[in-house]
Amino acid sequence: MNFLFNSEVVDYDFYKKTDTTQTILFLHGWGGNKFSFTQTINLLKQKFNIITITMPTIFKTNMVWDNDIYCELVFSILKAHNINEVVVVCHSFGFRIACLLKQKIKITKIVVTGGAGPKKNNIFKRIQQYNNKILLSNKKFKYLFNNIASADYKNLPYVNKQTFKNVVNTNYKNIMRFNCPMLLFWGKRDFETKLWIAKRLKKQNNARLIVTDSDHFAYLKQSALFNNAVVEFLK
């Protein structure tokens, strides 16, 4: 299905059941798409309404996005289908959208895997702080950038890099508290969104935390465990 938003055509799917009002919203990570949670969706779409969206991140786009705009996109799609409350399942960047979305719509439960939370160090501010030194030597700049900037930023093939900076430089320290049950599913070898983020979320939200011997994509590499945990959580 297509949704027109600010002159952008956004791809999404809506699997609707006639015998339930419960809707699960899937929010993928940076560079993901509406198929990122396919295994979980196939398991749940027999019992729940499902909405899954391909948000423009590394895809061709004519505008610069930020988290508020992504949130407004999601909210607009939900409004178009007269959905007033959702269960959210999100990965990485998708959690940042969920943090904003809860101010617009009721979230009854949330599953977070590898959620992008607060950053201890802002890589772009660090580069700016050393700007004068960087300008002295191109080699120094390359060394600093290669050792500080994330792979996501350096490898962006399409999207304006300003969008990525808008996304990662938002401070979510004070909006990560949810007034609903929360399930956390993490990989202890997740170096993108480290385990300390999960532990902080667990403490702030009295959440259940499942830690696996996996990485940032624990929900895929430990898919059976993840799917079983989600099904049990939604009972």
Domain 2-119+159-234 matching CATH 3.80.30.20: the answer reads: no
Rounded Cα distance between 26 and 101, Å, is: 12
Q: What is the pLDDT of residues 168-192, one digit of tens each?
A: 666 655 678 999 999 999 999 999 9
Q: What is the pLDDT of residues 119-159, one digit of tens each?
A: 654 544 444 444 444 443 555 555 554 555 555 555 554 45
Look at the block and give the residue holding tokens 């890099």: 161
C-alpha closest to that of 34 among 4, 63, 10, 5: 10
More confident residue, 57 or 110: 110
Residue 78 clears pLDDT 60, i.e. is over it: yes
Q: How confident is the model at residue 11 (pLDDT cuts 50, 70, 90)?
A: very high
More confident residue, 95 or 63: 95
Predicted pLDDT at 95: 95
% of the chain beyond a pLDDT of 70: 77
CA distances from 75 to 38, 47, 104, 181, 215 (A): 22, 23, 7, 21, 30
Q: How confident is the model at residue 51 (pLDDT cuts 50, 70, 90)?
A: very high
Domain ranges of the chain: 2-119+159-234
